Amino acid sequence: MDIREILQTKYPIIQGGMANIATGPFAAAISGAGGLGLIAAGGMSPEQLRENIYQARERTTAPFGVNIMLMHPQVDELMEIVIKEQVPIITTGAGNPGKYIPSLKAAGIRVLPVVPSVALAVRMERLGADAVIAEGTEAGGHVGEMTTMALVPQVADAVHIPVVAAGGIASGRQMLAAYALGASGVQVGTCLLVAEECPIHPNYKQALLEAGDSDTIVTGRIGGTPVRVLKNRMSREYVKREREGATREELEVYTLGSLRKAVLEGDVRDGSLMAGQVAGQLHAIRPAAEILAELYGDYCALRATFAKDCDNHAD
Protein backbone atom coordinates (compact mmCIF):
# COMPACT_ATOMS: atom_id res chain seq x y z
CA MET A 1 0.00 0.00 0.00
CA ASP A 2 1.20 3.49 -0.81
CA ILE A 3 1.59 5.41 2.43
CA ARG A 4 0.45 8.55 0.57
CA GLU A 5 -3.12 7.23 0.80
CA ILE A 6 -2.84 7.49 4.58
CA LEU A 7 -0.85 10.72 4.65
CA GLN A 8 -2.65 12.53 1.81
CA THR A 9 0.68 14.04 0.72
CA LYS A 10 2.64 14.50 -2.51
CA TYR A 11 5.68 12.62 -1.17
CA PRO A 12 5.73 9.44 0.97
CA ILE A 13 7.82 11.36 3.48
CA ILE A 14 7.01 12.24 7.10
CA GLN A 15 8.88 14.87 9.07
CA GLY A 16 10.23 13.50 12.38
CA GLY A 17 8.76 14.85 15.62
CA MET A 18 11.63 16.97 16.97
CA ALA A 19 10.50 18.30 20.35
CA ASN A 20 11.19 21.99 21.02
CA ILE A 21 11.95 22.47 17.31
CA ALA A 22 8.95 21.57 15.14
CA THR A 23 6.55 24.48 15.61
CA GLY A 24 3.29 25.12 13.74
CA PRO A 25 4.98 27.34 11.12
CA PHE A 26 7.71 24.73 10.55
CA ALA A 27 5.18 21.89 10.17
CA ALA A 28 3.23 24.08 7.72
CA ALA A 29 6.41 24.65 5.68
CA ILE A 30 7.05 20.90 5.43
CA SER A 31 3.43 20.13 4.50
CA GLY A 32 3.45 22.98 1.99
CA ALA A 33 6.59 21.45 0.46
CA GLY A 34 4.85 18.11 -0.11
CA GLY A 35 5.79 16.06 2.96
CA LEU A 36 3.77 15.42 6.10
CA GLY A 37 4.70 18.19 8.52
CA LEU A 38 4.29 17.52 12.23
CA ILE A 39 3.98 19.85 15.17
CA ALA A 40 6.05 18.35 17.98
CA ALA A 41 4.01 18.61 21.16
CA GLY A 42 7.04 17.57 23.26
CA GLY A 43 8.17 20.70 25.08
CA MET A 44 4.81 22.48 24.54
CA SER A 45 2.04 23.10 27.05
CA PRO A 46 -1.45 22.04 25.92
CA GLU A 47 -2.24 25.72 25.28
CA GLN A 48 0.90 26.16 23.19
CA LEU A 49 -0.01 23.08 21.17
CA ARG A 50 -3.43 24.54 20.39
CA GLU A 51 -1.82 27.84 19.38
CA ASN A 52 0.67 26.06 17.10
CA ILE A 53 -2.14 24.10 15.43
CA TYR A 54 -3.85 27.42 14.65
CA GLN A 55 -0.60 28.91 13.33
CA ALA A 56 -0.09 25.94 11.00
CA ARG A 57 -3.68 26.18 9.73
CA GLU A 58 -3.17 29.86 8.94
CA ARG A 59 -0.14 29.00 6.81
CA THR A 60 -1.18 25.94 4.82
CA THR A 61 -4.22 24.13 3.50
CA ALA A 62 -2.16 20.93 3.21
CA PRO A 63 -2.72 18.32 5.92
CA PHE A 64 -0.31 18.27 8.84
CA GLY A 65 -0.11 16.19 11.99
CA VAL A 66 1.01 16.30 15.59
CA ASN A 67 3.74 14.22 17.21
CA ILE A 68 2.98 13.31 20.81
CA MET A 69 5.98 12.52 22.98
CA LEU A 70 4.55 10.05 25.49
CA MET A 71 6.94 10.99 28.31
CA HIS A 72 5.26 14.44 28.36
CA PRO A 73 3.78 15.10 31.83
CA GLN A 74 0.52 16.42 30.33
CA VAL A 75 0.09 13.78 27.65
CA ASP A 76 -3.63 13.25 28.48
CA GLU A 77 -4.38 16.93 27.88
CA LEU A 78 -2.39 16.91 24.63
CA MET A 79 -4.46 13.97 23.40
CA GLU A 80 -7.67 15.83 24.27
CA ILE A 81 -6.54 18.79 22.20
CA VAL A 82 -5.67 16.82 19.06
CA ILE A 83 -9.08 15.14 19.28
CA LYS A 84 -10.95 18.40 19.86
CA GLU A 85 -9.04 20.12 17.06
CA GLN A 86 -9.55 17.15 14.74
CA VAL A 87 -5.90 16.90 13.76
CA PRO A 88 -5.98 14.26 10.97
CA ILE A 89 -2.77 12.37 11.82
CA ILE A 90 -0.88 11.63 15.02
CA THR A 91 2.53 10.07 15.44
CA THR A 92 3.78 9.06 18.86
CA GLY A 93 7.23 8.55 20.32
CA ALA A 94 9.11 7.54 23.45
CA GLY A 95 6.52 5.09 24.74
CA ASN A 96 3.52 2.85 24.17
CA PRO A 97 0.43 4.81 23.03
CA GLY A 98 -1.88 1.76 23.36
CA LYS A 99 -4.34 3.26 25.83
CA TYR A 100 -4.95 6.30 23.61
CA ILE A 101 -5.49 4.50 20.30
CA PRO A 102 -9.21 3.63 20.75
CA SER A 103 -10.25 7.25 21.41
CA LEU A 104 -8.03 8.60 18.63
CA LYS A 105 -9.48 6.09 16.16
CA ALA A 106 -13.02 6.84 17.34
CA ALA A 107 -12.32 10.50 16.48
CA GLY A 108 -11.30 9.50 12.96
CA ILE A 109 -7.62 10.25 13.54
CA ARG A 110 -4.94 8.19 11.77
CA VAL A 111 -2.37 6.91 14.26
CA LEU A 112 1.25 6.10 13.40
CA PRO A 113 3.27 5.07 16.46
CA VAL A 114 7.07 5.03 16.36
CA VAL A 115 8.25 1.56 17.34
CA PRO A 116 11.77 0.43 18.23
CA SER A 117 10.93 -3.31 18.17
CA VAL A 118 8.82 -6.00 16.48
CA ALA A 119 6.94 -6.67 19.73
CA LEU A 120 5.62 -3.11 19.96
CA ALA A 121 4.82 -3.02 16.23
CA VAL A 122 2.65 -6.15 16.54
CA ARG A 123 0.87 -4.73 19.58
CA MET A 124 0.21 -1.45 17.76
CA GLU A 125 -1.27 -3.26 14.75
CA ARG A 126 -3.58 -5.27 17.02
CA LEU A 127 -4.80 -2.07 18.68
CA GLY A 128 -5.68 -0.45 15.35
CA ALA A 129 -2.67 1.66 14.32
CA ASP A 130 -2.85 2.69 10.65
CA ALA A 131 0.90 2.20 10.08
CA VAL A 132 4.02 1.96 12.21
CA ILE A 133 7.19 4.00 12.00
CA ALA A 134 10.12 1.63 12.57
CA GLU A 135 12.92 3.85 13.84
CA GLY A 136 16.49 2.62 14.06
CA THR A 137 19.14 3.74 16.49
CA GLU A 138 20.80 5.87 13.78
CA ALA A 139 18.11 8.47 14.44
CA GLY A 140 18.55 11.61 16.49
CA GLY A 141 16.94 12.21 19.88
CA HIS A 142 15.43 9.39 21.91
CA VAL A 143 16.46 6.09 20.30
CA GLY A 144 16.06 2.35 20.64
CA GLU A 145 18.76 -0.33 20.28
CA MET A 146 18.12 -1.81 16.85
CA THR A 147 19.48 -0.47 13.58
CA THR A 148 17.14 0.53 10.76
CA MET A 149 18.75 -2.17 8.60
CA ALA A 150 17.81 -4.95 11.03
CA LEU A 151 14.54 -3.49 12.38
CA VAL A 152 12.60 -2.51 9.25
CA PRO A 153 12.53 -5.94 7.52
CA GLN A 154 11.65 -7.74 10.73
CA VAL A 155 8.79 -5.31 11.44
CA ALA A 156 7.63 -5.51 7.80
CA ASP A 157 7.49 -9.33 8.07
CA ALA A 158 5.57 -9.19 11.34
CA VAL A 159 2.74 -6.77 10.51
CA HIS A 160 0.23 -6.28 7.69
CA ILE A 161 -0.07 -2.50 8.00
CA PRO A 162 2.39 -0.21 6.15
CA VAL A 163 5.82 0.33 7.69
CA VAL A 164 7.55 3.71 7.51
CA ALA A 165 11.32 3.55 7.97
CA ALA A 166 13.13 6.12 10.12
CA GLY A 167 16.69 6.60 11.33
CA GLY A 168 19.64 7.05 8.98
CA ILE A 169 17.70 8.43 6.02
CA ALA A 170 18.74 11.69 4.33
CA SER A 171 19.31 10.81 0.68
CA GLY A 172 17.67 9.05 -2.25
CA ARG A 173 20.04 6.12 -1.79
CA GLN A 174 18.96 5.65 1.80
CA MET A 175 15.30 6.09 0.87
CA LEU A 176 15.59 3.39 -1.81
CA ALA A 177 17.34 1.14 0.73
CA ALA A 178 14.41 1.65 3.11
CA TYR A 179 12.00 0.50 0.40
CA ALA A 180 14.22 -2.50 -0.32
CA LEU A 181 13.90 -3.38 3.38
CA GLY A 182 10.11 -3.43 3.13
CA ALA A 183 9.14 0.15 3.96
CA SER A 184 6.39 2.01 2.11
CA GLY A 185 7.52 5.44 3.22
CA VAL A 186 10.21 7.21 5.20
CA GLN A 187 10.45 9.61 8.10
CA VAL A 188 13.29 12.12 8.16
CA GLY A 189 14.31 14.60 10.83
CA THR A 190 17.99 15.43 10.82
CA CYS A 191 18.15 16.53 7.17
CA LEU A 192 15.30 18.98 7.85
CA LEU A 193 17.19 20.62 10.71
CA VAL A 194 19.20 22.47 8.07
CA ALA A 195 16.08 23.68 6.24
CA GLU A 196 15.89 27.46 5.99
CA GLU A 197 12.50 27.29 7.69
CA CYS A 198 13.77 25.27 10.66
CA PRO A 199 13.60 27.57 13.70
CA ILE A 200 16.78 26.41 15.46
CA HIS A 201 19.62 28.78 16.31
CA PRO A 202 22.13 29.38 13.45
CA ASN A 203 24.93 27.97 15.66
CA TYR A 204 23.04 24.65 15.87
CA LYS A 205 22.74 24.58 12.05
CA GLN A 206 26.43 25.40 11.67
CA ALA A 207 27.37 22.57 14.05
CA LEU A 208 25.31 20.18 11.88
CA LEU A 209 27.07 21.36 8.71
CA GLU A 210 30.46 20.82 10.35
CA ALA A 211 29.63 17.37 11.76
CA GLY A 212 31.23 14.24 10.35
CA ASP A 213 30.03 10.64 10.34
CA SER A 214 31.27 9.90 13.86
CA ASP A 215 30.21 13.11 15.53
CA THR A 216 27.11 11.86 17.33
CA ILE A 217 27.01 10.10 20.70
CA VAL A 218 24.22 8.52 22.76
CA THR A 219 23.74 9.89 26.26
CA GLY A 220 21.68 8.03 28.83
CA ARG A 221 22.14 4.47 27.49
CA ILE A 222 22.96 3.28 31.01
CA GLY A 223 20.23 5.29 32.69
CA GLY A 224 17.52 4.00 30.36
CA THR A 225 16.73 7.15 28.35
CA PRO A 226 19.10 6.97 25.38
CA VAL A 227 19.27 10.21 23.39
CA ARG A 228 21.50 10.72 20.31
CA VAL A 229 23.09 14.16 20.13
CA LEU A 230 26.10 15.81 18.53
CA LYS A 231 29.34 15.38 20.45
CA ASN A 232 30.23 18.47 22.47
CA ARG A 233 31.52 19.33 25.92
CA MET A 234 28.18 18.50 27.58
CA SER A 235 27.53 15.15 25.86
CA ARG A 236 31.12 13.90 26.23
CA GLU A 237 31.13 14.82 29.91
CA TYR A 238 27.70 13.24 30.40
CA VAL A 239 28.80 9.90 28.94
CA LYS A 240 32.08 9.99 30.88
CA ARG A 241 30.26 10.63 34.18
CA GLU A 242 27.65 8.03 33.28
CA ARG A 243 30.38 5.41 32.76
CA GLU A 244 31.87 6.39 36.12
CA GLY A 245 28.55 5.52 37.76
CA ALA A 246 27.08 8.98 38.33
CA THR A 247 23.53 9.03 39.73
CA ARG A 248 20.47 10.16 37.81
CA GLU A 249 20.41 13.39 39.84
CA GLU A 250 24.07 14.11 39.09
CA LEU A 251 23.49 13.55 35.37
CA GLU A 252 20.35 15.70 35.28
CA VAL A 253 22.54 18.74 35.86
CA TYR A 254 23.85 18.32 32.30
CA THR A 255 20.55 17.76 30.52
CA LEU A 256 18.22 20.10 32.40
CA GLY A 257 17.02 22.63 29.85
CA SER A 258 19.90 21.64 27.56
CA LEU A 259 17.77 21.21 24.42
CA ARG A 260 16.37 24.71 24.78
CA LYS A 261 19.92 25.96 25.37
CA ALA A 262 20.91 24.57 21.97
CA VAL A 263 17.75 25.47 20.04
CA LEU A 264 17.10 28.97 21.37
CA GLU A 265 20.47 30.24 22.62
CA GLY A 266 22.77 28.43 20.19
CA ASP A 267 24.89 27.08 23.03
CA VAL A 268 26.83 24.49 21.05
CA ARG A 269 29.17 23.58 23.94
CA ASP A 270 26.68 22.83 26.70
CA GLY A 271 23.42 22.46 24.80
CA SER A 272 21.84 19.20 23.69
CA LEU A 273 22.15 19.23 19.89
CA MET A 274 19.93 16.31 18.97
CA ALA A 275 20.91 14.83 15.60
CA GLY A 276 21.07 11.49 13.82
CA GLN A 277 24.10 9.76 12.34
CA VAL A 278 23.34 11.28 8.93
CA ALA A 279 24.51 14.67 10.24
CA GLY A 280 27.76 14.07 8.31
CA GLN A 281 25.78 14.17 5.05
CA LEU A 282 24.52 17.73 5.52
CA HIS A 283 26.38 20.36 3.55
CA ALA A 284 24.06 23.35 3.00
CA ILE A 285 21.15 25.30 4.42
CA ARG A 286 18.36 25.09 1.85
CA PRO A 287 14.60 25.58 1.60
CA ALA A 288 12.62 22.58 2.86
CA ALA A 289 11.01 22.22 -0.57
CA GLU A 290 14.43 21.73 -2.16
CA ILE A 291 15.50 19.14 0.43
CA LEU A 292 12.32 17.08 -0.05
CA ALA A 293 12.29 17.40 -3.85
CA GLU A 294 15.90 16.22 -4.05
CA LEU A 295 15.32 13.33 -1.64
CA TYR A 296 12.29 12.06 -3.54
CA GLY A 297 13.72 12.87 -6.99
CA ASP A 298 16.98 11.02 -6.30
CA TYR A 299 15.03 8.07 -4.89
CA CYS A 300 12.88 7.87 -8.05
CA ALA A 301 15.86 8.22 -10.41
CA LEU A 302 17.82 5.52 -8.59
CA ARG A 303 14.82 3.23 -8.48
CA ALA A 304 14.44 3.57 -12.27
CA THR A 305 18.15 2.82 -12.79
CA PHE A 306 17.94 -0.35 -10.71
CA ALA A 307 14.78 -1.42 -12.55
CA LYS A 308 16.55 -0.93 -15.89
CA ASP A 309 19.49 -3.06 -14.72
CA CYS A 310 17.06 -5.85 -14.01
CA ASP A 311 15.29 -5.47 -17.38
CA ASN A 312 18.67 -5.97 -19.05
CA HIS A 313 19.35 -9.00 -16.87
CA ALA A 314 16.04 -10.58 -17.90
CA ASP A 315 16.96 -10.47 -21.62
Residues making contact with ligand TUI (CB under 6 A): 17, 19, 42, 69, 71, 93-96, 114, 116, 120, 135, 141-144, 225, 227, 274
Which residues, at least 6 apart from 215, have a Cβ–Cβ distance to it below 8 Å? 230, 231, 279, 280
- Concatenate the DSSP letters of all residues of 42-74 into one string: TT--HHHHHHHHHHHHHH-SS-EEEEEETT-TT
Name the minimum Å distance from CB 211 to ligand TUI: 17
Name the minimum Å distance from CB 232 to ligand TUI: 16
Name the minimum Å distance from CB 230 to ligand TUI: 14
| Separation between Cα atoms, residue 170 and residue 157, nearest integer Å | 24
3 vs 262, beta carbon nearer ligand TUI: 262
Name the minimum Å distance from CB 305 to ligand TUI: 32
What is the number of the residue whose Cβ is closest to ligand TUI? 141
- Concatenate the DSSP letters of all residues of 265-282 into one string: H--TTTS--B--GGGGG-
62 vs 275, beta carbon nearer ligand TUI: 275
37 vs 172, beta carbon nearer ligand TUI: 37
| Separation between Cα atoms, residue 170 and residue 276, nearest integer Å | 10
52 vs 60, beta carbon nearer ligand TUI: 52
Name the minimum Å distance from CB 311 to ligand TUI: 39
62 vs 87, beta carbon nearer ligand TUI: 87
Instruction: Classify 211 as helix, strand or coil.
Output: coil
Q: What angle is formed at CA 72 by the lines to CA 66 and CA 74, rounded to 5 degrees?
A: 90
CB-CB neighbours of 85 under 10 Å: 13
